[in-house]
């Protein structure tokens, strides 16, 4: 997959190095090279790109500020000499983070990650194939991909016990792992991607997998040592589900 990319860095040597990396990477096409975010702000809207290598520390308008003006379809790889910016880069939905001086090996890893991300998006946007014989849609996917620690991680739906929302993050609690998977995504956005036939919202901060509900005690759902509260606004929906399975 050929990705259209652009570079933004106010350091001529750093910009030249990235240009040389792009030129020898066959999966990238260089569509713009800018020495400031202001310059990119004027030039890039006329020529949208898939991938943007963006320096953070720049005068007038820094990379984190400029990133909020970049179209959502463009994925950002931040480049900086200061590691403390990593979390801030994550908050603006960066695909990756490269620490200067950037080696070609690290650059290629970021490109491979971008290729994977665009491949997954293309797969997700493709229409679901019809089931043979009856023209109905094929069965729903049995996994999702979530971004965690600058990686796309495949999570099997069957493995999810419950999901906990924490402001901008979610904790995905898995049956197979002692520690939850942390991902920078809202609980609402994740809920929209989960099949409603399998998952149930029981609280503003919790979604549970129906098939893993084994104990309900005093208005709470018990997962081992964890107790998931059920709020009044979601209690009836949970009761309806339980009533369908009471013998």
Task: Report how far Cα 22 is from the mean position of its chain's Cα atoms.
Answer: 24
pLDDT at 37 over 80: yes
Given pLDDT bands bounded at 50, 70 and 90, which one contains residue 182? confident
Q: Residue range 218-246: average pLDDT? A: 86
- Predicted confidence at residue 91, as pLDDT, reads 53
Share of the chain above pLDDT 90, in %: 35
Q: Residue range 30-49: average pLDDT? A: 87
- Predicted confidence at residue 128, as pLDDT, reads 46
| pLDDT digits 0-9 by tens, 117-158 | 888 777 655 554 444 444 433 345 688 888 776 677 888 999
Q: Residue range 28-36: average pLDDT? A: 94
| pLDDT digits 0-9 by tens, 48-107 | 799 999 999 898 898 888 888 888 788 899 998 876 655 454 455 578 888 889 999 999
pLDDT at 14 over 80: yes
pLDDT at 162 over 50: yes
């Amino acid at each position: 997959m050929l990705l259209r990319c652009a570079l933004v860095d106010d350091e001529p040597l750093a910009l030249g190095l990235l240009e040389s990396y792009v030129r020898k990477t066959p999966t990238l096409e260089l569509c713009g090279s800018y020495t400031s975010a202001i310059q990119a702000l004027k030039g890039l809207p006329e020529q949208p790109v898939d991938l943007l290598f963006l320096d953070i520390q720049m005068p007038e308008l820094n990379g984190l500020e400029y990133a909020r003006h970049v179209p959502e379809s463009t994925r950002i790889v931040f480049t900086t000499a200061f590691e403390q910016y990593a979390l801030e880069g994550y908050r603006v939905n960066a695909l990756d983070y490269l620490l200067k001086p950037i080696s070609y090996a690290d650059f290629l890893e970021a490109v491979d990650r971008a290729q994977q991300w665009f491949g997954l998006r293309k797969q997700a946007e493709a229409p679901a194939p019809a089931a043979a014989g009856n023209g109905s849609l094929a069965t729903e996917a049995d996994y999702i991909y979530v971004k965690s620690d600058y990686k796309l991680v495949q999570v099997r739906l069957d493995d999810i016990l419950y999901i906990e929302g924490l402001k901008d993050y979610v904790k995905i609690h898995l049956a197979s792992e002692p520690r939850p998977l942390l991902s920078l995504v809202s609980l609402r956005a994740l809920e929209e991607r989960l099949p409603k036939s399998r998952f149930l919202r029981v609280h503003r901060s919790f979604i549970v997998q129906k098939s893993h509900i084994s104990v309900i005690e005093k208005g709470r759902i018990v997962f081992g040592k964890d107790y998931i509260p059920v709020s009044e606004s979601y209690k009836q929906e949970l009761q309806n589900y339980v009533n369908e399975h009471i013998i």
